[in-house]
Structure 1
Amino acid sequence: MIDSHSHIYTDRYRDDRDAVIARAVAAGVTQLLQVGCHLEDSRVAIALSERVSGIYASVGVHPHAATTATPEVLDALQALTSHPKVLSWGEIGLDFYYDNSPRAVQQAAFEAQLERVGPCTLPVVIHTRDAEPETLDILRRHPIARGGHVHCFTGTPEMAETLLELGFHIGFTGIVSFKNAANVREALRRVPLERLLIETDSPFLAPKPHRGKRNEPAFVVHVAEAIAEVKGVPVADIAAHSTRNFYRLYEKPGMTWAPLIAPDDTAG
């Protein structure tokens, strides 16, 4: 399985990051995508990808940090996209639930980053919360040739269908296993296996039976189990489809996928 979205480069894993990676390997996780939320995050995610086989990076400015998305920062992010282990631009988007940045600033940062993606020929990683009409409007006005991954989906089933029409893959987290997430499960039922991604969004949103704890990539197995139950298919089908989908969406020309290897087992 692949954890298609997590943040183990952060200080929440400072004391046991290598052990977290080893547990992911033991659980059968083959690759991790580490997703930046601002410029410095993005650089740290890349540094981790350089140190550990099977870890890849995404670069971007999250809506919470939208006030930092200056032209100079976007230039720096665009330069980072040439790194061989940077697979996408994100996470970017809108978050009107927390409103940590003014909404107009979020929208401007979102659009500015979508405009930068085209020349990089990368897919995008989208964050959207409580901003359904605005997110869809911006995505319609800024089509992305490579499409992208709307991560940690919590929108309506109708939004999921619209995103599929726009060419996006949709990622689901441990929220699928939460008792109060009936709307997310209904949206999941409408997403075909060919457009599905699985993720932990670590350190957040640990699935059952670990809810309330710090999340980690090894728990993506439980996400897959919860999704399989909703879809009424074997867990192996969820693993196989989501892995193929990840490779198809994120592969860069000429690249060879490296397996995730615990750092203690990495040469050097």
Structure 2
Amino acid sequence: MDWNLIRAFLATAEAGSLSAAARELKLTQPTLSRQVSALEASLGILLFDRVGRSLVLTPSGRELLVHVRRMGQAAEDLALMASGQAQSVEGLVKISASDIVAAYVLPPLLRKLHEREPGISVEVVASNGLSDILRREADIAIRHVRPAQPDLVARRCRDSAAHLYAARSYLDAHGRPERIEDLARADFVGFIRVEELVAVLRDERGLPLSLENFRWSANSFVVALEMVRQGLGIGVVQREAAERHDDIVQVMPQLEPFTIPVWLATHAELHTSRRIRLVFDFLAEMLG
């Protein structure tokens, strides 16, 4: 099989559109489209459904993608071996993540990484902004939105989730809410952009909340969690952090959890630095 056709399919499947894949491969969009069509013709199957300007994998396309990803990994490993560039697995890798992920998700993973690769050092950049890895503020970023820069390599990991939690002391003092209407009288702890949080809870989830409910807020997820633990109010807490504390309990578990997408992103050095590639793949494995 023609590797160029396989590569065109892989890039298109990962990017979700011909235009984004063409930028990644530095090809024109018509050229890439012809390569994908040629692969479909040679295999005799339809790989993508065209939905507006987007491409959606067919069941056959999803099945093929599993095998093609292995081929892509093997091809990149071969290129690294042949070039002899950045073969050392020693040195520093900077990982950017939100403060809650940096505090509660990364440390146990880094312990496992050290057991596998003791020569690698890691600097964690705890930031609730979107660190610009193109400016080398970090080598790898763990983000909760899909990176928009076309020069970045991104991979979607398993989603996390968050729920409403409160301290046992708060529930003892104010009672446990049993119905959605009960939340209108509750105190809440907010974080980062509180107005946006209120809009999501009220308009998308139908909770009877306003800014008046949010008597407490912080520009840090970790600080907001500590406020919840002190019994100041109810808060939206990421599952991995909540599971570490016995003094907070889930409130109204019948509510749908809040989905938190998890993306890994890195710059083009992923293809030439074995050290960064190793940590990137390790995080992708550990995060699902």
Q: TM-score, normalised by structure 1?
A: 0.23
- TM-score, normalization: structure 2? 0.22
